[in-house]
Structure 1
Amino acid sequence: MLIKNIEQRIKVNKIVSLGTVAFAVIILLASFFFAYRMIQDSRKSIYILDNGVPVLAKQTDVLLNRPVEYKAQIELFHRLFFTLAPDDAYIKENIQKSLYLIDDSGKKEYTNLKEKGFYNQIVASSSMVSIHADSIQLDMEQKKFSFFGKQMITRKSAVITRKLITEGFFDDIIRSPNNPHGVMLKNWRIIDNEEISNQTKNSY
């Protein structure tokens, strides 16, 4: 009788011990799982500076908003590259800012226009150059864009309007003060820059 009681106690002790170990393993695995989930959630959180104030944003929101940032970057580059005044320092400053947003294809086009005397003509004729973006089309699969707009050249005697169609590719890079959207434009080229109107100003 005594032996049976000892055997039963040993069995009960084994069951309790095994149950305790199994429970501890479950608690350990659950802790690892919840810790992993917390790390994953923290990685999805991004702090964006809004006038110097850090604002929490979810990564999913940023990814959903990415096409808007691509278009904003494309519009910003074209505005900087094609907004010119009859001032060498102003032209160089705008071009320099625009070249932070694009690969060497932007520098090549700048050199091409410079060699043709385009910038010298702007300064010599006291012209103002601006652009208007009509639309920007994105191909998210190929990461390709097409820019459709108009270029206005305002001279003392006339206002010339030219068609401006360009295309290129875009890629994600690390955000920086000179490239706040974290987008690099690539293999950019001007497709059409045909003159569509030349309006003479009235002289008084």
Structure 2
Amino acid sequence: MLVKSIEKKIKINKAIAIATIIAALIMVISAFVFSYRLIENSRKSIYILDNGVPVLVKQTDLSLNRPVEYKAQIELFHRLFFTLAPDDSYIKDNIEKSLYLIDDTGKREYNNLKEKGFYNQVISSNSMVSIQTDSIKLNLQEMKFTYYGKEVINRRSQLLIRKLISEGYLKDIQRTPNNAHGVLIENWRILNNEQISSQERYGL
């Protein structure tokens, strides 16, 4: 009887030990799963600046958001590159910001316009230059875009409107403070920048 009682206690202790080990494994696995989900959810939380105030937003599926981000990046680059005022420091600041969004083709176009005296003309004629985006065509298979818009040159005595069509390619890169969308424009070129209208301002 004593032997049977000891054997029974051993079996019970063995069963308790096995159950304890299984319970511990379940707890460890559950903790890993919980931690993984917590990290994944935190990665989907991003902050954007709204007038200098950080605002928490949630990311949705990247494949759904990316085309929107591509268009936003293309529009932002063109707005920075072509929004000019008769102020040398303002022009340099905008150009510097725009060049974070593009490869060396942006710098080459800037140097080309500078050599032609375009920026000096903006300053000397007291002009304001802005753009109006009409549409942006994306080819996601080739990661290529075509930008359609108008360049408005507002002078004291004249209002010029020029067509602006450009194209380039897109490359996903690491997000940085200077490139929040994580998109680099490559092989950019202007296809058409012809004048489409001119309005004289008399009596000024």
The TM-score range, normalised by the shorter chain, is 0.7 to 0.9
Q: Look up the equivalent residue of 1:47 and give its one-letter code.
A: Y
Structure 2 residues not aligned, in runs of 5+: none
Question: Matches of 2:39 and 2:79 in 1, distance apart?
Answer: 41
Question: Matches of 1:133 and 1:91 in 2, distance apart?
Answer: 20
1:40 and 2:44 correspond: no
SS in 2 for 1:17: helix
CA separation of 1:6 and 1:134: change in aligned 2, threshold 3 A: same
The answer to whether the Cα contact below 8 Å between 1:173 and 1:184 also exists between their aligned partners in 2 is no
More displaced, 129-138 or 35-44? Answer: 35-44
TM-score (norm 2): 0.79
CA separation of 1:85 and 1:57: change in aligned 2, threshold 3 A: closer
Question: Matches of 1:154 and 1:50 in 2, distance apart?
Answer: 30
CA separation of 1:4 and 1:146: change in aligned 2, threshold 3 A: same
RMSD: 2.9
Q: Look up the equivalent residue of 1:34 and give its one-letter code.
A: F
CA separation of 1:6 and 1:190: change in aligned 2, threshold 3 A: same
How far does residue 162 in structure 1 lie from its aligned partner after superposition?
1.6
Q: Look up the equivalent residue of 1:85 and give its one-letter code.
A: A
Question: Matches of 1:46 and 1:90 in 2, distance apart?
Answer: 30
How far does residue 112 in structure 1 lie from its aligned partner after superposition?
0.9
Q: Look up the equivalent residue of 1:100 and give its one-letter code.
A: Y
SS in 2 for 1:20: helix
Q: Look up the equivalent residue of 2:176 and give its one-letter code.
A: R
The match for 1:27 is 27
Question: Matches of 1:89 and 1:4 in 2, distance apart?
Answer: 95
Structure 1 residues not aligned, in runs of 5+: none
Question: Matches of 1:2 and 1:90 in 2, distance apart?
Answer: 96
Question: Matches of 1:90 and 1:46 in 2, distance apart?
Answer: 30
Residues 12-161 of structure 1 aligned to structure 2 (within 5 Å): 12-60=12-60, 64-161=64-161
Q: Give aligned-pair identity as a percent.
A: 62
CA separation of 1:141 and 1:172: change in aligned 2, threshold 3 A: farther
The answer to whether the Cα contact below 8 Å between 1:83 and 1:129 also exists between their aligned partners in 2 is yes
How far does residue 79 in structure 1 lie from its aligned partner after superposition?
1.9
How far does residue 53 in structure 1 lie from its aligned partner after superposition?
4.2
